[in-house]
Amino acid sequence: MIRKTDYGYCAEGKKAYLHIQFFSDSIVRFAYTKNNILPESTPAVIGQSKNIEALVDGNYIKTQNLKIKIDSEDLKVSVFDSEDNLLSRDLSVDIDNIKVEKELLWEKGFYGLGEKYGWINKKGTQTENYNSDVLGAHPLHNPTIKEYHTSIPFYIGLDKDKAYGIYFDNSYRTYFDFGKEKDKVVQFSADGGHIDYYFIYDKKVSEIVKGYSEITGTMPLPRKEFLGFQQCRWSYMNREELMEIAKRMRKENIPCDVLYLDIDYMENYKVFTVDSEKFNEFKEMVKELKEMGFKIVVIIDPGVKKEKGYYVYEEGLKNDYYIKDSDGLVYVGEVWPGAAVFPDFLRSEVRKWWGELHKGLLEDGVEGIWNDMNEPSDFSTESKVVPEDIVHVDDEGRERKHAEIHNMYGMLEAIATYEGLRELQPNKRPFVLTRGTFAGTQRYAAHWTGDNTSLWEHMESSMPMFMNLGLSGYTFIGSDVGGFAEDSNGELLARWTQLGAFTPLFRNHSMKGTINQEPWCFGEEVLDNTRKYIKLRYKFITYLYNLMRESSKEGHPVMRPLFYHYQGDERTYNINDQFLFGENIMICPIVRPGMDARMVYLPEGDWYDYWTGEKIEGGRYIIKEAAIDTLPIFIKAGAIIPQDEVVEYIGQKENTKLDLHYYVGDNGEYTLYFDDGRTFDYEKGIYSEIKLNVEENDGKITVKSEVLKDEYKIPELVLHIHGIEEFKSIDVDNGNTPVEKGDVISIDICKPEFKVVIEK
């Protein structure tokens, strides 16, 4: 009853068909339909199914890594690994109600689902996906709210020696339950569309995330400058105010790369206009800021003001580009400009038009676009988003209800923006920041977690949110540092800046009507503390950029839960307030007022305190003192960590020298990547890569290096060696030199120079 088809396999049950496609030996798609046609995927999916040699044997279909049993009547599936261990078993498949129930078997934790408040482990909870303007609809973000700005219908089931991911490729409102309603039952369902999901199996959770990225894509390598500190506010109201902020940053010696213009830069909130009274000689201002090292990002909302004579509105109307109500009339909602219409980003023609509208802003020197309100938010409805019965029209001319498109609307706008910028500036990596996202949006835009509040609780809950976003394929993420709504305060800002310094998107942002919260707003001590951590961020730019490179290739997030690398340690499954920043750095922020110490869980192995250099044995909890100017940071023994010279903005100086720090321990392996940080030349192979191996054995250090690629200039490298009691000698690419502490040795490894410093 399982037959081969041109796309894969098909099983015919009593009432339905189950279409099966393999994306690897461990990734399989299960799609159910009532007819004999493979359903269409959402735009989230870019992976291609592969012609895997599967063996059909009665009710079984086997690959190298999976054995799948299909119930011939109701098409329930059970999945086993190659050793016959049960990985997943359906209890019911309800095609009419688009609902699957699976047995909760061995999973100790459930993770993923993008941006959700609450603890990291979702076992025992329920949630839903429906993109929402959260603060528009609720007084405050909190864990009882299920709908956030993001819909990523992907979750991971975890145990020590196995894990799987399920990506439910459905853009309607979706529901997930991890053993809450019924003990021992995991359920997922949708309001429309098909049961169409991908099962991704591996022993290692990191491989699940990689597998998910093979289906939905990875983040493109971002412009390095956007890894710098970013300052925003709703709003810097005019040219004078913005220039003040810029000058003050430099005066106070606070590194900063990006400044934002929120909605008030526009003329009456009309997108693609600039208020020339408040921002006179806009282009010249942007140029002046650029000379000071600042990149300007402006906000663009999807709501287009309904106003006769306004060129954007008129063009869209003339070309029939807006979504309509069920009577076929252009839908008019309400957002910042008052009555507003919404582009139908589902159509490529509309996306192209929208992309081209950015031309003027780019000509003015604007360097990035911030897409807000794209759930899409609508003040005129009770739900605060556009109603479900609104109609879109796709490229084939088919009408599609907003209920289906809603969760993807923000992503479709981000595609329009990203592709528009690429088209207009083909050899410059676009920077797009979006609030509304769907699975796969990582391919186009960075994401911030919307309108948090200046509360310690919100800083704390940003961490599990980041880790779950990371597990859901999202790497370029951050939240409003200092908190958006309500007044921030000095201590909160200081601590939040410490955390923000280790989030890929590092942006301080606050709401209209609240007190200002730029680093200098709370006195000298807070200024010193925030400056210290913004500067620290700039020391880690190369390290972070290397992680971004890794993520762009393999999907591994920058911010990782501890179990990403310590899956065998169950204690890590519920750690919410510590995270790994790449494999070898652990960040343990202070998230309570008045605290000057905290408990830290050090996973097995040796760790170094970043500040004191002290070596600490892991596999246990420790208490770490952390006065207001201290963020606890631990480095894994064996790590090689680059540290940059601190600059006012990225690219201010040419990097001629790079310090590398080796913390003695095993696995001293690191691959350094260099390119121009701005263009797509790296896609043509214009980059360099050096692989370093450093080992220590009884006082003897061995350094090995391999230049994997040498097409972009490599700075002078200086390797500092930490944490060794007694030095005897050093072996570099097979030459042996006796050394003592304090020695500096030059080694001929790569151009222009490689030096080793034995730290005292």
Pick the closer one to ligand MIG by CB: 137 or 622: 137
How far apart are CB 510 and ligand MIG at their closest, in Å? 8
For the segment 366-385, give every residue that binds ligand MIG (CB under 6 A): 372-373
CA gap 587, 578 in Å, rounded: 6
Q: How many CB atoms lie within 10 A of CB 518?
A: 22
Is the CA virtual torsion 626, 627, 633, 637 positive or negative?
Answer: negative
Question: From CA 255, how far away is CA 424, in angstroms rounded?
Answer: 29
CB of 451 to ligand MIG, least distance (A): 5
The span from the CA of 410 to the CA of 131, in Å, is 9
d(CA 29, CA 215): 10
CA angle 389, 420, 256 (to 5 degrees): 105
Report in angstroms how near the CB of residue 578 gets to ligand MIG at its nearest.
27
Q: How far is the CB of 448 from ligand MIG (least distance, A)?
A: 7
The CB-of-29 to ligand MIG minimum distance in angstroms stands at 35
Coil, helix or strand at residue 288: helix
CB 108 within 8 A of CB 572: no
Nearer to ligand MIG by Cβ, of 216 and 371: the residue is 371
Q: Which of 432, 437, 439 is nearest to 150 (CA)?
A: 437
For residues 166 and 726, give the distance between their C-alpha atoms in angstroms, rounded to a whole number: 51
Nearer to ligand MIG, 96 or 382 (CB): 382
Adjacent-strand bridge partners of 260: 297
Within positions 108 to 167, which residues make up the interface with ligand MIG, using CB under 6 A?
Answer: none
Catalytic residue among 275, 372, 491, 689: 372
E strands, 483-526, are 507-508
Q: Which is closer to ligand MIG, CB of 378 or CB of 451? A: 451
For the chain, give the number of residues: 760
- Shortest spacing between CB 134 and ligand MIG, in angstroms: 9
Residue 451: active-site member: yes
The rounded distance, in Å, linking the Cα atoms of 33 and 242 is 56
Q: Judge whether 372 counts as a catalytic residue.
A: yes
Confirm or reject binding of residue 477 to ligand MIG (CB under 6 A). no
Binds ligand MIG (CB under 6 A): choice among 337, 450, 555, 715: 450
By beta-carbon proximity to ligand MIG, the closer residue of 451 and 696 is: 451
Query: One of 375, 518, 577, 689 is an active-site residue; which one?
Result: 375
Cβ-based nearer residue to ligand MIG, 175 or 269: 269
| Contact call for residues 555 and 210 (beta carbons, < 8 A) | yes
Strand partners, 9: 4, 20
Q: How far is the CB of 149 from ligand MIG (least distance, A)?
A: 8
Residue type at position 413: E
| Residues 604-623 as x/- pattern, contact with ligand MIG by CB under 6 A | --------------------
β-pairing, 615-617 vs 700-710, is unpaired
* Residue 299 in the binding site for ligand MIG (CB under 6 A): yes
Give how many residues touch ligand MIG by CB under 6 A: 10
> Among 154, 172, 234, 687, which residue interacts with ligand MIG (rule: CB under 6 A)?
234
Residue (373 or 633) nearer to ligand MIG, CB:
373
Distant-in-sequence, close-in-space partners of 672: CB < 8 Å, separation ≥ 6: 542, 546, 642, 658, 660, 689, 690, 691, 692, 717
Nearer to ligand MIG, 335 or 547 (CB): 335
Would you call 419 a catalytic residue per the annotation?
no
The residue annotated as part of the active site, out of 451, 550, 606, 659, is: 451
Query: Do residues 189 and 210 touch, judged by C-beta distance below 8 A?
Result: no
Lookup result for tokens 């088809």: 5
Q: Does 172 bind ligand MIG (CB under 6 A)?
A: no
Q: d(Cα 209, Cα 352) in Å, to the nearest integer?
A: 32
Q: CA-to-CA distance for 275 and 430, rounded, in angstroms?
A: 24
Q: Go through 367-376 and write b for each residue having 16 or more CB atoms within 10 A of its CB, e for each that does not.
A: bbbbbbbbbb
Cis amide prior to 430 (ω within 30 degrees): no
Minimum CB separation of residue 235 from ligand MIG in Å reads 7
Of 53, 46, 93, give the one whose Cα is nearest residue 70: 93
Per-residue mark of binding to ligand MIG, 322-341 (x: CB under 6 A): --------------------
- Binders of ligand MIG in range 420-449 (CB under 6 A): 435
HSE toward the beta carbon, residue 634, CA cutoff 13 A = 27
Whether the Cβ atoms of residue 324 and residue 391 lie closer than 8 Å to each other: yes
Q: Measured from the CB atom, is 140 or 185 closer to ligand MIG?
A: 140
Q: Which of 413, 419, 451, 696 binds ligand MIG (CB under 6 A)?
A: 451
Q: Over 58-104, what HEC string results?
A: CCEEECCCEEEEECCCCCCEEEEECCCCEEEEEEEEECCCCEEEEEC
Contact flag: residue 194 with ligand MIG (CB under 6 A): no
Nearer to ligand MIG (CB atom), residue 435 or residue 598: 435
Report, in Å, the least distance between residue 264 CB and ligand MIG: 8
Cα of 718 vs its chain's centroid, Å: 31
Give the nearer residue to ligand MIG in terms of CB position, either 338 or 651. Answer: 338
Nearer to ligand MIG, 128 or 262 (CB): 262
Check binding of 689 to ligand MIG (CB under 6 A): no
DSSP structure class, residue 413: H
Closest contact distance (angstroms) between CB of 320 and ligand MIG is 28
Distance of CA 735 to the CA centre of its chain: 43
Asked if 605 contacts 665 with a C-beta cutoff of 8 angstroms, the reply is yes
CB of 136 to ligand MIG, least distance (A): 6
Residue nearest to ligand MIG (CB): 234
Least distance CB 299 / ligand MIG (angstroms): 6
Do residues 209 and 219 make contact, with C-beta atoms less than 8 angstroms apart?
no
Cis peptide before 752 (omega within 30 of 0): yes
Q: Which amino acid is at 99?
A: K
Show the site string, 692-711: x = touches ligand MIG by CB under 6 A, - = not: --------------------
Residue 481 interacting with ligand MIG (CB under 6 A):
no
First to last CA, the chain: 72
Site string for ligand MIG, 248-277 (x = CB under 6 A): --------------xx--------------
In the complex with ligand MIG, which residue's Cβ is closer, 435 or 447?
A: 435
Name residue, tokens 């009691």.
725
Smallest distance from ligand MIG to CB 266, Å: 10
User: DSSP per residue over 187-207, as a string?
Assistant: EEEESSS--EEEEEEESSHHH
122: which 2 tokens?
Answer: 């979702």
Please give the residue ranges that form the binding site for ligand MIG (CB under 6 A). Answer: 234, 262-263, 299, 372-373, 435, 450-451, 509
Active site residues: 372, 375, 451
